Amino acid sequence: MSTYTLNTSISYLKGVGPSRADLLKSELGIYTFEDLLNFFPNRYIDRTQFFKINQLQQNSAEIQVIGKITNIKTVQQKRGSRLVATFRDETGFMELVWFRGAKWIKDTLKLNTTYVIFGKTTHFNGLFSMPHPEIELLAEYKKSLRTAMQPVYPSTEKLTNKGITNRIVSKMIQNLFEEVHGKFAETLSDSIIKQYNFISKSEALLNIHFPKNQDLLTKAQQRLKFEELFFIQLQLIRKKLIRKSKIKGYNFTQVGAYFNEFYKNKLPFDLTNAQKRVLKEIRKDVGSNAQMNRLLQGDVGSGKTIVALLTMLIALDNGFQAALMAPTEILATQHYNSLVELLDGMGVNIQLLTGSVKTKQRKLIHEQLESGELHILIGTHALIEDKVKFKNLGIAIIDEQHRFGVEQRSKLWRKNELPPHILVMTATPIPRTLAMSVYGDLDISVIDELPPGRKEVKTAHRYDANRLSVFKFLRDEIEKGRQVYVVYPLINESEAMDYKDLMDGYESISREFPLPKYQISIVHGKMKPTDKEYEMQRFVKGETQIMVATTVIEVGVNIPNASVMVIESAERFGLSQLHQLRGRVGRGAEQSYCILMTSFKLSAEAKIRLNTMVETSDGFKIAEVDLKLRGPGNLMGTQQSGVLNLRIADIVKDANLLKMARATAINLLTVDPILANPENGCIKIAYQKISKNSTIWQNIS
């Protein structure tokens, strides 16, 4: 019996050795037998069919032939030499050619012995040849575990150069199965296996690496994908349950004067049903003795800020302070100004804390925070500095959360002996499948309707050749007293080029819209913050009709009178960015427009993005398309990526399996929250092992 276990170092596996082990570690992150076992193929080649030499076609398909080598010769060429072997079956002959490793290969080949060869053929002067074929003695071929469906493993240039070919990786895995006798511990309970008619863990692993046929391969993939998603969901949901039972939160028992006064006399418009529903969910959370951790999703302009304000007023009614953190100074200032206006005359002390607040004012804010005189503090990252101490922070609201890392959020937690309630807001709609994976430990609320009277922004795609008619349209809108944004992409690799695009664009707009009749603001990343703010303010006050800018205006600038958004080189923007930019207009009662300008040269993916923008303004639909185009890792930015380093599952393509896995995990934990039931013993063992090794905790909000 072998003494090896799945935790054994990969260097002890037959056929690996120290130098190959180092390569496997550095290139593929494979340290143990288990890592190699979970290194899954990314495609398969069907080797069920054998060809005769007289059946070969002039195409680039990979084929296999059985025959014998009858002659071997070395042919000199300009650089070095090549090895050529004549390969025959009963119908004809072809050549096998090697350009590298000729001496070593020549020593291993046997004449007049039956081989199986596999590879792509080339055709020249009426003769077929196969360069660098995979070659194996027929006797060995029949004995090996390798099957008709041949796995192809992910590789790197370095591995290929060092001779660790696909065949060698496959052989290593075959050795592994022999060492551990192909028996692997079961990780799912009998009832889950029966419920979904899954094959066993051992069968699944055997058939993912050495599938007997297409049907067993499909069964193996289903089983392993489900399991991967199931254990992620189990961690997320268990974490949520533990938090709800263990982490106590402040109990906001009453809705009092601040809330009622604002709701009855100050609310600028009736709440939509969606806003009322979300507010109910929040009230239930903050009145439950447990700490709230809720994600509030709502499209641009759906009224998240009002919900946030009402939530802060509940905290004030219960004698607590509130904080709102925004990613940029512009956005923080805007939140501050709008809240000051909304709460005018209610005796609420609100302050703004950003990097540019002067020392004297900062000191005053710190004092008022600690004494409790200050009710609501709005700010940027400056809020999480150690110097900022609250008397009793009851709720922290984080806007556009994907711009803050987890570390920054947890700093807010440590401001109190009990953690404050957390409400995380985002205007970037997150598709359900992604929300279940990345934010599975948060409760999710969605505002899915716009306030009454808001008109949908009309979106059109125009080519550069239509520029004159677009300019005419802009003039007509400005005549009506409206304002216009013209946005240029800013993509770091080509700062100089982007800056030039922006300046060229600014000049051509200045020619079309000359002074003194028209005034133009310009804002870009190279300007000093004070100059940027000055130009922004001119536009906000209506002193300028056109704002030419890079994407610095993407988040949160609210100018109801701006009714047209022109996006230049729109093909260079991602979908979510286009959607965010479009959300800058349509904030007043007037009909608003978004014009996507591009050249004629468009990739297939760019066409899909532009068509999606023209066809729908539903942020969730747009996010689904974005997820399909870009994949989950890119959508969330790097700080979330750890959750989604999936070995085999794909949360876009396997959305149904993800739903199944989540529902199964919820049902299991509802019945057996600490996995104490003997039937769930194997799940518990696998869960503990994954929790110990997994980095999922660092990557989850």
pLDDT band, very low/low/confident/very high, at 698 (cuts 50, 70, 90): very low
CA distance 238 to 230: 12
Q: What's the pLDDT score for residue 405? A: 52
Q: What is the DSSP string of 508-546?
A: HHHHHS-TTT--EEEE-TTS-HHHHHHHHHHHHTTS-SE
Q: Is the peptide bond before 516 cis (omega within 30 degrees of 0)?
A: yes
Q: Which residue spans within 199-292 are E strands per DSSP?
A: none
Q: Which residue has the tokens 């709008």?
A: 338
**At a CB cut-off of 8 Å and minimum separation 6, what does 293 contact?**
240, 243, 421, 422, 424, 441, 442, 443, 701
Q: pTM of this prediction?
A: 0.69
Q: What is the DSSP string of 608-670?
A: HHHHHHHH---HHHHHHHHHHHHHHHHHH-GGGGGGG--SS--TTTTHHHHHHHHHHHHHHHH
Give which of 298, 296, 301 is closest to 311, Cα–Cα: 296
Q: Percent of the chain scored above 70 by pLDDT?
A: 91
Q: What is the pLDDT of residues 114-170, one digit of tens each?
A: 999 999 898 888 899 999 998 999 988 888 766 667 899 999 888 888 889 898 999
CA distance 509 to 278: 44
Q: Which domains does the chain have, with CATH numbers?
A: 48-146 (2.40.50.140), 257-286+303-426 (3.40.50.300), 458-616 (3.40.50.300)
Contact 142, 164 (CB under 8 A): no
Q: What is the DSSP letter of 351?
A: E
CA distance 85 to 69: 7
SS3 108: helix
Q: What is the pLDDT of residues 16-63, one digit of tens each?
A: 989 999 999 999 999 999 999 999 998 888 777 889 999 988 776 788
Which tokens hold the place of 422?
Answer: 């957390």
Mean pLDDT value of segment 272-294: 93
Instruction: Characterize 609-627 residue by residue with b for buried, 16 or more Cβ atoms within 10 angstroms of its Cβ, and e for exposed.
Output: bbebbeeebebeebbbbbb
CA distance 433 to 440: 10
Residue 94 β-bridge partners: 87
CA distance 42 to 647: 10
Q: Please, what is the Cα angle at 446 between 440 and 447, to 5 degrees?
A: 165
